[in-house]
Each structure stands twice: as structure tokens, then as C-alpha cells.
């Protein structure tokens, strides 16, 4: 989905459940092709799901959701908190770290020195984050350059358990493979267990390359 996409409306739990089951079947098939266990978390991206529609996701069996904006996260957690596990998957503004941390199990998008400073101020022993990596090298994209990740992690004051990346938009998921492979190789070298990579356009390729979390939006709500 892109920023011009309208909010999702009229979600039916039975339809979302069927879509979720299809995604899980495709994940299992992709894992089988890669010779790996199908132990991949489906994080439902809810940027375009209004607060009043969130109940349909819980009724459909979705347990893990990812929110992009701090203010939406606050509102949705206040209304539906115990029904889900919550991750933050959007661009991380360092000034909002304090608001996000108490509400999520995991931040996927740590990528700046200012974010590290805020994590040092507001994090604790239970805080867990992923470092966002600019695996494609796009000048306009956020994320730590691959050759800077190890040093960046060394400066992080809280636990880094994995990496995240967003490859360039492409019509064919196969185009994302080299970026996912690069992220997997980097995570293996650094001994990190979580890999958040793959969205609706390319999650099957991401699973083949080792994703442990895929961030799925559009395909769940159609």
C-alpha cells in the first residue's frame, strides 16, 4: 500500500481469516522450497485499518499487528491492546520513542543516532529492537548502510535481536531476492536471529531467503 491508498472499510472476519490462511499456506510452501521450517510470524500491517475495524482482525485470528504511526498506535492500543501483540514498523522519529516503547514488543526501524539516544533514555532490560538496513543502497531510503551495521549495533544501548529492510518497490517479488539475501547473510554473520523482511509484494521470496517476520497488509484485507 502507498500513502495515497484509502482506509480499509467493511472488513469481514471470515474473509480476513481466509486470506490469512492463504498467506500461511504460501509461507509454508516457500519454507518447504527453501528447506527450512515454516516458523514465520505474520505481522498484519494496520496503517490503513481504522480503529473501528481492528476488532475484525482479532475475530479473524490475527494476533500480531504492526503500526506505522505513534499516534495511531496509542489510540489502537488503548482500544484493543490485550487482543494483539503490537510491533512498530513505520519510520521511527526519535522524539516519539518514549511514546512507542511501552506499547510494543518490538520496534523494527531503528536507524539513527538520535533514536539510539532516546533508547538509552527510555529503554530498559526488556527493550528489544531491530536495526533497519538500507540493503539496496538507495540514497533516498532510510536505514543503516550494511557496512556500518556492526558498529551501529555496538552503540545501541538496548538489545538488538535482528534486522529489517525494505527493498525497492517492484512488480515482481523476485527482484527483491538479492536484497533479502544480503540481509540474511549480514544477520548470520552478526549472530542475529530475527529477520523482518517481505511485504505483500514479495513475502514468499523473503521466506525463501530466511525471513522470520513478514509484514502483510493489502492481501489480508482484499
CATH of residue 144's domain is: 3.20.20.10
Any domain includes 8:
no
- One DSSP character per residue, the chain reads --TTPPPP-S--HHHHHHHHHHHHHHHHHHHHHHTS----EEEEE-TTS-GGGHHHHHHTT--EEEES-HHHHHHHHHHHGGGSEEEE-S---GGGHHHHGGG-SEEEEE-SHHHHHHHHHH--TT-EEEEEB-TT--TTS-SB-GGGHHHHHHH-SSEEEEEE--PPP-SSGGGGHHHHHHHHHHHHHHT--EEE---TTTHHHHHHTT-SEEEE-HHHH-
For 60, the domain range is: 13-221
When pLDDT is averaged across residues 11-17 and rounded to a whole number, the result is 97
Any domain includes 7:
no
pLDDT at 68 over 50: yes
Q: What mean pLDDT is reported for the chain?
A: 95
Any domain includes 176:
yes
pLDDT at 3 over 50: no
pLDDT at 2 over 60: no
pLDDT at 6 over 80: no
Structure confidence by residue, pLDDT tens digits, 115-160: 999 999 999 999 999 999 999 888 888 899 999 999 999 999 999 9
Any domain includes 4:
no
Any domain includes 3:
no
Number of domains making up the chain? 1
Any domain includes 92:
yes
Amino acid at each position: 500500500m502507498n500513502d495515497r491508498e484509502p482506509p480499509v472499510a467493511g472488513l469481514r472476519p471470515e474473509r480476513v481469516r481466509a486470506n490469512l490462511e492463504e498467506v500461511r499456506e504460501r509461507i509454508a510452501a516457500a519454507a518447504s522450497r527453501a528447506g527450512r521450517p515454516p516458523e514465520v510470524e505474520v505481522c498484519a500491517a494496520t496503517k490503513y485499518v481504522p480503529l473501528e475495524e481492528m476488532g475484525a482482525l482479532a475475530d479473524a485470528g490475527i494476533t500480531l499487528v504492526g503500526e506505522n504511526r505513534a499516534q495511531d498506535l496509542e489510540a489502537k492500543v488503548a482500544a484493543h491492546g490485550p487482543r494483539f501483540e503490537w510491533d512498530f514498523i513505520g519510520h521511527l522519529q526519535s522524539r516519539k520513542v518514549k511514546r512507542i516503547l511501552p506499547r510494543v514488543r518490538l520496534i523494527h526501524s531503528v536507524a539513527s543516532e538520535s533514536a539510539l539516544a532516546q533508547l538509552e533514555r527510555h529503554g530498559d532490560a526488556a527493550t528489544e529492537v531491530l536495526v533497519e538496513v538500507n540493503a539496496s543502497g538507495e540514497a533516498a531510503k532510510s536505514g543503516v548502510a550494511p557496512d556500518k551495521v556492526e558498529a551501529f549495533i555496538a552503540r545501541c544501548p538496548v538489545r538488538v535481536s535482528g534486522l529489517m529492510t525494505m527493498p525497492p518497490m517492484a512488480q515482481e517479488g523476485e527482484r527483491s531476492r538479492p536484497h533479502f539475501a544480503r540481509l540474511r547473510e549480514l544477520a548470520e554473520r552478526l549472530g542475529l536471529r530475527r529477520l523482518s523482511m517481505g511485504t505483500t509484494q514479495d513475502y514468499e521470496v523473503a521466506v525463501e531467503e530466511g525471513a522470520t517476520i513478514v509484514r502483510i497488509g493489502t492481501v489480508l484485507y482484499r
